[in-house]
Every structure is written in structure tokens, then in C-alpha cells.
Structure 1
């Protein structure tokens, strides 16, 4: 039996589906997906056959299953199920050249991959954080490419980073995607996120949240209510402002204003 906590299609570029589930006894037969499958285990362990080779998935690492490569899956622990969170990403998320490499080595070790995937799921929990989720998916692409390919882009593009920052500043109160920004700036999405983070030391979505929190802080000090500050700072609603305000400044808008 499986207790599915939630399965949905978020409005985030390159994310086809998100699944949070717990399996008590179920074992997957051999099957394939037309998407890249990013598996994060929260409890238990899973043994699986990928392209006729045995592998083990645990909470200590991210598992990356390539599209159209057969795999199965079952609990690796007797009388114990497993709990998982899964991202299904567009087949074009990684180049075709990465499929064979991922089939040979599907485990992404290291805290960077774990942290990135955890942050993506946290952002996907709130539609207002779709921009953060999109940036996370692009950051995960860079991590995966660095493990699966032998070459890497090293060119610096600070002017491009500055153009994106100007766009983020000009459209601070709007909702738009990195995909839209990349199309307007004539750059690849993941390259755009990478050069911005490298140039300014902060990811684009964190830059936007910081600017919006700063704007809300000034509005609160000018006598605006938390609801007004949220609406005039680009946040989805007061709850969205409160969560990021507390995370950034260590207190709520209401307490800060008082």
C-alpha cells in the first residue's frame, strides 16, 4: 500500500510533476519515465536496478534517474517502508550526453545537491515561491552537469549579471520567470543564474526576496500595515511576507512595526 501525501503539477518551468509519498510494502516493477527523475529519500532506503545494474538510494544522497532508462525499486530494509519526495523534470533539463553518465552513476553525493533539492521542495510548497523553485532547478542542473560531464563553462559574464540585476530591480514588484529573463537577455537559463550568483554572491531569487523585505521594512516604519507592506513590496500576501520577513530579520512584520 502507498500513502500518497501529495502529487501535483506546479507552475514552474521544467518541472513536470512533484510527488511526495510513503510506501509501506509496494515494490516498483521495471518501468521507464520520459522525464528526469530526482529522488530524495526522507526515511528508509531503496534498492533498485537501473539499466541492469544494482544501486542503493539512501537519505544521504540525491538519486538522479535519466529518462527512458529502465529501473525498478523496493525497500532495502526488511519490514520497513520508505518515504520519498520526487521531482519529475523535462527531458531537456540535461543534455542527451548526460543520460549514459547518469545511468552509470545515478547518485549525487554531497551536501550541495541535498541542500538544493531540499530547498526546491520547500519553495514548491508555496506557489508564491515559484521563482525560488525555478532558480533551484537550474542550480541543481549545474551540480548535476559538473558530476556527469567532463567539461564545464568557465567564462565570466559580469555584464550579463548586471543586466539581470537591472531587470530584477526594474520588475521587483512583478512575477516573472528566469526563463522569460533568459529569453529577453539572449542567454541560457542556467548560465544566467550561474553568472549572477558568481558575480554578486547571491542567487537571483534570494536577491529579489532581500530587496522586497527591505522595501517592506521601510513601508512598515512609515506606518503601513503588514498587509499593505506585503502588497506594495511584491509579496503574494501577508503570510508570504511574514515567512520571508522572519527568515531574513528574525521577527515578524507586526512585531517589527510595533
Structure 2
């Protein structure tokens, strides 16, 4: 069976050394090759296989593929159709995202994804590549990639990252800046995790962990929540959903609808605004009511 045309390889111009493969194929589209990067993948449909380190491997669903830079391997499907997601990250990109200059390699090239966490993090990162590029897209994607790399390298390569501290001042400044950004009437300026970290002179991964520990959610989720709170204020003030979409930097109205529903549980159209007013007929003065 020939390879499917559904394979997509995503690259980021502001984060060199990172690529994300969304694979959907049959047969053997990959001959012997290697990557100058760590490869972290999860099978989510079908059975995959490859030759590596002198052996053949079969990878069913919920199996991880974990390769180190320079490892020569093939790639093929052992089922009529194979679907998996894979992140490629060079050592330089790991240094940028995790502040780790010489990460240890994976001892095993396959592992069981017992709790499904790696597959979930891969799916979360993939969702951003398929999502509209709105004002918070870079912040969300950088957060997703950082969490994926940190989880994979700590659980499967023995990486030790700096534990989050309190950093109350840095978290407060970051939170206030996100509040202000969400309240800006013409919010079209893109924000990234690295830009947030530079404002408080912390490494992005460390700020992400400190903010999440103190606030309970990462900066991107917090910003999304504050933006929807701002949207509710604009709707309450009489703006239409279309105008609110533009004012808050959403890609389009459908994107605004999905974001609003994800946080509030309802669509903007189901957000019922009950406006106050006098309940008595203004032409009838108090004390002139007649009973029958």
C-alpha cells in the first residue's frame, strides 16, 4: 500500500530545531534514515514497526517510540493503516525550552504509555498546529511543547529539571500583564511564553511551572479565561459577537464561539443578558393603585 497523502510535517520559524509529524499511512514510506533530534512519538491507531539497533520492533496502540539523535532506523506499518504523532527536538531546542544543555538520551526506544499522558500531550500540541493562529496561539503552543518535552525526558530519559519555587513577584507581574492584555480593547498583539519569561527574567520552563503551581493553571489557560471574562463584559455592554470577536483578537467568530463554550459551557448566543428597568408603568404614580 502506498503512503497516505495525509502525512503533515509542521515546523516553527521562531523555534528552530522543532518539527511535529502527524502521520497517517500504510506500507513502508520510510527507508533507512536518522534525525539530528530526539524523536518522541505515540501510536494512536494501528500497529507500526521499524528496524533499529539491529532488531525489529512492533509498536501497537499506546506504545511510545523514543529515539535519540543519530539513530538509524526504518519506518513502516504492520496494519493496513497506521496513525501516530511524533515530535522531533534537537538538543539546541531542548536547551531553549527546558534550559537543559546536554539532555540524557533514551535508554529504551519503545515504552508503554500506561497512563496515556504522553499521547495526551502530543494530541494537545497537535491541536495547536491545526488551530487558528490568534493572539495567544504562540503562548499556547510553546506551553504545550514545553510540557511534552519535560514530561517525556523526565519520565523516559532521567532528566531532572529545576523544581518550581514560589517566585510570587514574577507570577504577580505575569498575571497582571495577562490581565491587562485581556482587557485591551484592540487585542491583536501576539504573546509568547518566552516573551512573558523575559519580562520577569526567568527561564520560560521555570516560569511556566511556578505560575501553574501558584495559580493552578498555566499562563495560556489563565489568559484564555481572562479573555472570555472580558468578552462577557463586552457582550453585556451591547457589543455583538462579531464585534467582540474582532476586539479580542480571535481568528474568526467560530473560533470565538468554541472558546466561549469551552470555558463557560454555553455559546455567546446562549449567554442570556437580562437588562434592568422599571417594573411599574411610568405613567402611574405610587399610591394610585386601585383594587377590585
Provide the rounded CA distance (Å) in 2 between the counterparts of 1:99 and 1:51.
Answer: 18
Residue from 101, 104, 108 that aligns with 2:108 = 104
Unaligned runs of 5+ in 1: none
3-state SS of 2:32 partner: strand
Provide the rounded CA distance (Å) in 1 between the counterparts of 2:29 and 2:192.
Answer: 38
Q: 1:221 to 1:16 in 2, by over 3 A?
A: same
Counterparts of residues 150-165 of structure 1 (less than 5 Å): 151-159=160-168, 160-165=170-175
Q: How many residues align?
A: 255
Shift in Å, 1:133: 1.6
Shift in Å, 1:97: 4.2
Provide the rounded CA distance (Å) in 2 between the counterparts of 1:253 and 1:12.
Answer: 34
User: TM-score of the superposition, structure 2-length normalised?
Assistant: 0.76
* Other-structure match for 1:169: 179
* Other-structure match for 1:74: 76
Counterparts of residues 210-249 of structure 1 (less than 5 Å): 210-249=225-264
Is contact 1:212–1:235 with CA below 8 Å preserved after alignment? no
Counterparts of residues 27-42 of structure 1 (less than 5 Å): 27-42=29-44
The alignment status of 1:134 with 2:142, answered yes or no, reads yes
Is contact 1:37–1:87 with CA below 8 Å preserved after alignment? yes
Provide the rounded CA distance (Å) in 1 between the counterparts of 2:43 and 2:181.
Answer: 37
Provide the rounded CA distance (Å) in 2 between the counterparts of 1:30 and 1:135.
Answer: 33
CA RMSD of aligned residues (A): 2.6
* Other-structure match for 2:89: 89
Shift in Å, 1:105: 4.6
Residue from 187, 190, 204 that aligns with 1:189 = 204
Provide the rounded CA distance (Å) in 1 between the counterparts of 2:202 and 2:57.
Answer: 37
* Other-structure match for 2:119: 114
Provide the rounded CA distance (Å) in 2 between the counterparts of 1:88 and 1:4.
Answer: 20
- Find the structure with the greater CA-based Rg: 2
User: TM-score of the superposition, structure 1-length normalised?
Assistant: 0.85
Provide the rounded CA distance (Å) in 2 between the counterparts of 1:52 and 1:92.
Answer: 28
* Other-structure match for 1:3: 4
